[in-house]
Amino acid sequence: MKTLIEYLLQFGNLNPQQIDLIAKKATELNLQKDEYFSEAGKISRQVGFVIDGITRVCYYNNKGEEVTKYFIEENNLVVDFESFDNEICSSAYVQAVTDCRLLVFSKTDWQELLDTIVGWDTIVHKIISKALMQKVARRSPLVTEDATERYLKFLEIYPNVVNRVPLSYVSSYLGITQSSLSRIRKNIR
């Protein structure tokens, strides 16, 4: 819980009562490896914060291949914002890649926080905007760089991920085949 509060305070001020209110609304959720936090085709109804473990967002492209869109590490919010906010069906799965411990807020509790805490909406907007900009920034280089540099960049961006997830997830994140990734890894050693 402490890490969540610290995380939130980076984006704005909250007084002790407000912090207390937030803490009261959060419930702990444990996900086992491979379980879903939210699913494509359903409306996302909760906001999560990863305390322990790695999750990923993935979808199936028009060839039916599973594509990892990004990884979410410890101390980050996990929410399908578009689905959650607009109450539309999600197009992606959010899946635990390792066993995970999360703090979650239900949609109603989240809404109550928005109605109760002055400035909460600003904090949330800042968090979401920052996350979105980060996604753009991380995705962009994937287009222009060659596969080796993409992998090196991946290692920089997610230094704690590569040894904790299947390489197939990494290769689909990088947009290459598993064998290509394997060859790249060999060349780099």
Residues within the interface to its own copies (CB under 8 A): 61, 65, 67, 69, 81-82, 121-122, 125, 128-129, 132-133, 135-136, 139-145, 172, 174-175
Structure-derived torsion over alpha carbons of residues 32, 50, 70, 65, reported in degrees to the nearest 10: 20
What's the Cα-to-Cα distance from 82 to each of 14, 93, 103, 137, 144, rounded to whole Å? 26, 13, 20, 19, 27
Residues 6+ apart with CB under 8 A from 24: none
Hey, CA dihedral for 64, 65, 69, 72, is it positive or negative?
A: positive
- For DNA, the closer of residues 18 and 148 by Cβ is 148
CB of 171 within 8 A of CB of 180?
yes
Q: Does 155 bind DNA (CB under 7 A)?
A: no
Please say which residue, 128 or 165, places its beta carbon nearer to DNA.
Answer: 165
Q: From the list DNA, its own copies, none, which binds 10 (C-beta under 5 to 8 Å, kind-based)? A: none
User: Whose Cβ is closer to its own copies: residue 54's or residue 127's?
Assistant: 127
The 22-51 contact track toward DNA, x by CB under 7 A, reads: ------------------------------
Among 11, 148, 153, 157, binds DNA (CB under 7 A): 148
Given DNA, its own copies, none, residue 86, with its beta carbon under 5 to 8 Å by kind, binds none
Q: Which residues pair with 72 in a beta bridge?
A: 55
CA 114/CA 124 separation, integer angstroms: 9
**Interface characters, 166-185, with DNA (x: CB under 7 A):** xxx------xxxxxxxxxxx
Interacting span for DNA (CB under 7 A) from 40-48, 87-95, 134-142, 165-173:
165-173
CA nearest to 38, candidates 15, 21, 55: 55
